[in-house]
Amino acid sequence: MCGGLVTGSLRPHNPLGQSLFLRACRREKTERPPVWLMRQAGRYQASYRTLRAHVSMLELCKSPDLVAQVTVNAVQETGVDAAILFSDLLLPVEPLGLVLSFQKGEGPSIVPAIRNASDVTRLRPVNVTESLGYVLDAVRQTRRALSPDVPLLGFAGAPFTLAAYMIEGGGSKDFANVKSFMRAEPKAWHALLGKISRVVSDLLIEQIRAGVDAVQVFDSWVGVLSPSDYATYVQPHSRSVFEKIPKDVPALHFGTQSGALLERMKEAGGTVIGLDWRVPISETWKRLGPVAVMGNLDPTVLLSSKTVVRREVLRILDEVGGQPGFIFNLGHGVLPSTPFENVVTLVQTVKEFRSK
């Protein structure tokens, strides 16, 4: 599938529809909030560290068997209510014609970086089912391996975040190249995000066809933008992604340091808005109105004692106060140095809680 608007459901009735996670996405009353964690498969797990000692990040992402293994292990070891496919949001840059690698201790590297309109023109058209078929195979294998009562989330990077990586050639502290590019060459900028948004849309749709029950769009770097820049340079492209997701499939929209952008992100799309730890949940509902939200424990809390973890989890749950449409998560991913037992404590605390 490449680029078309999809209407209606992509698959038959989903027996997982009554899961806590999917009910919360629909803002239905649940006996307790569901809980899952961003980066819930990772180096804080001994099983993951053992595997990664022999397998590189890209080798892991491109092996459906291993993806299914680490995705299911994370659910079984922590007891969370939903699984998220183990993958990496940068995988689409390869079929676009760039070289992706992960430098030990330094994060991702992308070459050649996009720096002008000619670079945008040279990007290749992408057939997701051919060039990213291994991701779709991983969805199918994970769904078969996963307990039938556990929802599976697929995901993709948002157009802005993928463009930011492609322009900077990796991560950045100030994203000066990104901001300079979008202001100096707006036509090329919108062409770039248009190309990326088509790949992202196709990837999400094909993950749904392959068996995921919900999708999340990660806009990891969107918080570096002002609200006006977001509205001008990003919102139309994010909206085009969400508009193509079937209405019966929950779509989660998450960005870090995005407190100033939440209203515009909601306008761009998503049935669930992800929150980082910098915004109070109760105030967010006042700003956004009736919408499902996900969040928002500071990941560094998990570096503390079990007592502190329980206290902070209960503080958030008390703030929510039984409001429907809440999914417990971190305000970003689990940190690699997190003690495993603290993750288990977080999950158990949420699962023992009962909404009033």
Residues annotated as catalytic (active site), given as ranges = 39, 43, 52, 88, 165
Helix/strand/coil for 332:
coil
Dist. CA 64–CA 66, nearest whole Å: 6
**Angle, alpha carbons 196-199-204 (nearest 5°):** 125
Given 3-state DSSP classes, what are the helix, strand and coil percentages for the chain, each rounded to the nearest 5? 50, 10, 40
Specify the amino acid at residue 42.
G
Give the DSSP per-residue string, 104-117.
TTTEEEEESPP-SH
Helix/strand/coil for 348:
helix
Dist. CA 81–CA 275, nearest whole Å: 19
Helix/strand/coil for 157:
strand
CB of 340 closer than 8 Å to CB of 46? yes
Query: Looking at the chain, how many residues does it have?
Result: 356
CB of 60 closer than 8 Å to CB of 51? yes
